[in-house]
C-alpha cells in the first residue's frame, strides 16, 4: 500500500523540517529504543533513519559507523513510500539492491525490514529499520515488534514537536517560531530568494477580555489562529508572538503577495462570527515586511514588520501596512 | 488481547502522575499507552518471557516520562512568556 502523501515530497520534507530534529545530538530515548530493537530482534544493525532531500540521516543507530548516507542508495527511501512494512529478504538477489554499494560494500546489508515513521499529519518522515548481514525472513512476530517500536519512535518525535507549540492555539510558540523563521530567513539569504514576515495583532482584544471574560478571549484566539492558519500554505510558519499577537513567516514570498495574503486574512477575520462574543466579529491589523538584500538578521525583519503594524494601528486598525512600500523592487515573487 | 500485556502496561502506567500532566498532553499519553500495549502484546506473542517484556516496556516508558517532563516544562515556560 502506498502512502497517501507519497507524491507530495515537498510537504513531506516540510513535515520533517517541522520536527526540527535533523542534525541534533544523540538523545537517550532513541538510543534506548535502538538497544531494545537490537536485543529483541537479534539484529547486528538497526537505525532510526530520517529521509531528507538528498540524504538519510540517522537520529540513532547500532552497527553503523556513519551518521548519514546519500538518499539514492538508501533502503529507507523505498520504505517511506509505503504504509506497510518494507522487507527485503536477500538483497544480493534483489533486482533493486543487488548492486547497491551498501550491499556490495560495508555494512554488507543482506536483509532489511523498515517500518515507515508516519506522523499524525500523514507524512512518512523516515523509517525504523532492522538490518541483518545474512539472508533473513523476518517473521510476522518480528515485524509486529518492529512496528510497535516505530510507533514509540513517532510518539517521541511528536512529543518534542508539542514542546514547540502554543497549547491554546496550536501555533508555534515564540521560541520555536523564531528558530523556524530564522532557518527560512537564512535559506532566503543563501539562495537570494524572497521571504516576508507578517505581524498580526487582534484589534481591541483587551476589551473582549474585559467585556466577555478570559474564556471568551481564549476562544477568540483559537478561532483567530485557525482562521489565519486556513489561509496559509503548508510551507508558511505561524507562531504566537505574544498575548494577542501572531507572526507568520512566508518563504519564497515577496511583499506584493505577502500583502495580498495579509488582506485575505483581514477579510477572513472580519467574516468570523463568534458566539463567545455574542456573535460579534473582530478585526486584525497587520504589518508586512520583506527581507531587504542587505538584511542579515531575522530579528530586524520582525522589527520592520512591527513598525508597519504600529502604523496600521495608528491609521485606524483593521488594515495592512507594508514596510517601506517596496512592492516594485522584488519582481521575482514566487508565491501564489 | 493478552491479559498479561494489559496488566503489565496498567501497572507501569500507574507510575505516571496524571495530575501533573496538562490536559493538552492527555491524548498524547493515551496514545503512548496504546502503543506500549501493542509492544507488550507483540513481545509476549513472539515468546518473549513476561518479565523481559515488562522490563522492555518499562524502559521505553521511563524514557518517555523524561521527555514528557521536558515538554511540560517547555509548555509552562512558553505560557509564562505570554
Q: Which of A41, A69, A158 is nearest to B28 (CA)?
A: A158
Q: Are B38 and A151 in contact (CB < 8 Å)? A: yes
Local confidence band at B74 (pLDDT 50, 70, 90 cut-offs): confident
**DSSP one-letter string for B36-73:** HHHHHHHHHHTT--HHHHHHHHHHHHHHHHHHHHHHHH
CB-CB neighbors (< 8 A) of A149 in chain B: 39
Instruction: Give tens-digit pLDDT for A47-99.
Output: 999 999 999 999 999 999 999 999 999 999 999 998 899 999 999 999 999 99
pLDDT at A3: 55
pLDDT at A91: 98
* Min distance B11 CA to chain A CA atoms (Å): 18
Instruction: Give tens-digit pLDDT for A101-143.
Output: 999 999 999 999 999 999 998 899 999 999 999 999 999 999 9
Question: How many C-beta atoms surround the C-beta of residue A148 within 10 A?
Answer: 24
Q: Are A139 and B63 in contact (CB < 8 Å)? A: no
Q: What is the rounded CA–CA span in Å between residue A305 and residue A321?
A: 9
Is residue A199 a contact partner of residue A314, using CB atoms and an 8 Å limit? Answer: no
> Is B63 contained in some domain?
yes
Lowest mean pLDDT among A71-85, A87-101, A322-336, B16-30: A322-336
B27 at A interface, C-beta within 8 A:
no
Q: Which of A168, A146, A153 is nearest to A43 (CA)?
A: A146
Residue A202 CA to its chain's centroid (Å): 25
Question: Does the pLDDT of residue A327 top 70, yes or no?
Answer: no
> Is B17 contained in some domain?
no
Is residue A50 a contact partner of residue A74, using CB atoms and an 8 Å limit? Answer: no
Residue A189 CA to its chain's centroid (Å): 20
Instruction: Give tens-digit pLDDT for A298-313.
Output: 999 999 999 999 999 9
Local confidence band at A331 (pLDDT 50, 70, 90 cut-offs): very low
Question: Does the pLDDT of residue A329 top 60, yes or no?
Answer: no
Local confidence band at B20 (pLDDT 50, 70, 90 cut-offs): confident
Q: What is the rounded CA–CA span in Å between residue A248 and residue A267?
A: 17
Mutate to test the interface with B, among A35, A128, A148 (most CBs of B within 10 A): A148
Question: Does the pLDDT of residue A336 top 50, yes or no?
Answer: no
Question: Does the pLDDT of residue B46 top 80, yes or no?
Answer: yes
Angle made by CA atoms A103, A107, A110, in degrees to the nearest 5:
45
> Is B47 contained in some domain?
yes
Domain count, chain B: 1
- Average confidence (pLDDT) over A167-179: 89
Q: Which helix (H) or strand (E) holds B14?
A: none
Q: What is the rounded CA–CA span in Å between residue B77 and residue A163?
A: 10
Q: Which residues of A touch B (CB under 8 A)?
A: 28-29, 32-33, 36, 40, 139, 141-142, 144-145, 147-149, 151-152, 155-156, 158-160, 162-164, 166-167, 173-175, 240, 242-243
> Is B16 contained in some domain?
no
Question: Does the pLDDT of residue A249 top 90, yes or no?
Answer: yes
- Average confidence (pLDDT) over A149-159: 96
Q: At B1, is the secondary structure helix, strand, or coil? A: coil
% of chain A exceeding 90 in pLDDT: 78
Is residue A142 a contact partner of residue A129, using CB atoms and an 8 Å limit? Answer: no
Among the listed residues A244, A263, A267, A290, the single catalytic one is A244
Q: What is the rounded CA–CA span in Å between residue A248 and residue A227?
A: 13
> Is B15 contained in some domain?
no
Highest mean pLDDT out of A283-287, A332-336, B76-80:
A283-287
Name residue, grid cell 528558530: A179
Is residue A276 among the annotated active site residues? no
Q: Are B59 and A32 in contact (CB < 8 Å)? A: yes
Whole domain around residue B46: which residue ranges? 3-10+22-81
ipTM greater than cut 0.85: yes
Q: What is the rounded CA–CA span in Å between residue A80 and residue A157?
A: 16
Q: Please tell me which residue, B78 or A68, carries the higher pLDDT value.
A: A68
Is residue A7 a contact partner of residue B27, using CB atoms and an 8 Å limit? Answer: no
Lowest mean pLDDT among A83-87, A200-204, A225-229, B70-74: B70-74
Q: What is the rounded CA–CA span in Å between residue A114 and residue A167?
A: 33
Average per-residue pLDDT for chain A = 91
Q: Please tell me which residue, A333 or A147, carries the higher pLDDT value.
A: A147
Report the length, in residues, of chain B. Answer: 82
Q: Secondary structure of chain A in the HEC alphabet?
A: CECCCCCCHHHHHHHHHHHCCCCCCCCHHHHHHHHHHHHHHCCCEEEEEEECCCEEEEEEEECCCCCEEEHHHCCHHHHCCECCCEEECCHHHCCCCCCCHHHHCCCCCCEEEEEEEECCCCCEEEEEEEEECCCCCCCHHHHHHHHHHHHHHHHHHHHHHHCCECCCCCCECHHHHHHHHHHHHHHHHHHCCCEEEEEEEECCHHHHHHHHCHHHHHHHHHHHHHHHHHHCCCCCEEEECCCCEEEEEEECCCHHHHHHHHHHHHHHHHCCCEHHHCCECCCEEEEEEECCCCCCCHHHHHHHHHHHHHHHHHCCCCCEEECCCCHHHCCCCCCC
Amino acid at each position: 500500500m502506498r502512502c497517501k502523501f507519497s507524491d507530495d515530497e515537498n510537504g513531506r520534507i516540510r513535515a520533517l523540517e517541522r520536527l526540527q530534529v535533523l542534525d541534533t545530538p544523540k538523545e537517550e530515548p532513541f538510543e534506548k529504543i535502538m538497544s531494545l530493537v537490537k536485543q529483541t530482534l537479534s539484529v547486528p544493525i538497526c537505525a532510526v533513519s530520517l529521509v531528507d532531500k538528498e540524504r538519510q540521516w540517522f537520529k540513532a543507530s547500532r552497527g553503523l559507523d556513519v551518521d548519514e548516507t546519500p538518499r539514492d542508495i538508501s533502503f529507507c527511501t523505498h520504505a517511506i513510500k509505503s504504509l506497510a512494512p518494507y522487507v527485503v529478504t536477500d538483497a544480493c538477489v534483489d533486482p533493486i539492491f543487488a548492486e547497491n554499494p551498501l550491499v556490495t560494500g560495508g555494512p554488507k546489508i543482506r536483509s532489511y525490514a523498515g517500518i515507515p515513521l508516519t506522523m499524525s499529519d500523514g507524512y512518512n518522515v523516515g523509517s525504523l529499520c532492522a538490518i541483518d548481514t545474512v539472508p533473513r525472513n523476518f517473521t510476522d512476530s518480528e515485524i509486529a515488534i518492529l512496528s510497535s517500536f516505530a510507533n514509540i519512535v513517532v510518539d517521541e518525535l511528536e512529543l518534542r514537536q508539542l514542546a514547540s507549540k502554543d497549547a491554546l492555539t496550536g501555533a508555534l510558540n515564540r521560541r520555536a517560531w523564531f528558530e523556524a523563521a530564522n532557518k527560512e530567513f537564512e535559506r532566503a539569504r543563501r539562495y537570494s530568494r524572497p521571504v516576508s514576515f507578517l505581524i498580526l495583532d487582534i484589534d481591541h482584544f483587551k476589551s473582549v477580555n474585559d467585556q466577555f471574560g478570559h474564556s471568551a478571549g481564549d476562544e477568540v484566539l483559537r478561532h483567530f489562529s485557525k482562521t489565519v492558519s486556513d489561509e496559509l500554505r503548508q510551507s508558511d510558519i505561524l507562531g504566537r508572538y505574544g498575548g494577542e499577537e501572531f507572526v507568520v513567516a512566508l518563504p519564497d514570498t515577496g511583499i506584493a503577495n505577502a500583502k495580498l495574503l495579509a488582506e485575505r486574512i483581514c477579510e477572513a477575520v472580519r467574516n468570523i462570527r463568534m458566539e463567545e462574543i455574542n456573535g460579534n466579529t473582530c478585526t486584525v491589523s497587520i504589518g508586512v515586511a520583506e527581507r531587504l538584500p542587505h538584511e542579515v538578521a531575522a530579528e530586524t525583519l520582525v522589527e520592520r514588520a512591527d513598525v508597519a503594524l504600529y502604523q496600521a494601528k495608528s491609521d485606524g486598525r483593521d488594515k495592512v501596512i507594508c514596510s517601506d512600500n517596496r512592492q516594485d523592487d522584488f519582481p521575482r515573487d514566487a508565491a501564489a | 488481547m493478552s491479559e498479561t500485556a494489559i496488566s503489565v502496561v496498567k501497572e507501569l502506567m500507574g507510575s505516571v502522575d496524571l495530575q501533573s500532566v496538562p490536559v493538552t498532553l492527555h491524548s498524547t499519553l493515551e496514545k503512548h499507552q496504546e502503543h506500549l500495549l501493542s509492544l507488550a502484546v507483540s513481545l509476549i506473542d513472539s515468546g518473549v518471557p513476561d518479565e523481559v517484556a515488562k522490563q522492555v516496556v518499562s524502559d521505553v516508558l521511563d524514557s518517555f516520562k523524561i521527555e514528557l517532563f521536558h515538554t511540560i516544562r517547555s509548555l509552562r515556560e512558553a505560557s509564562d512568556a505570554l
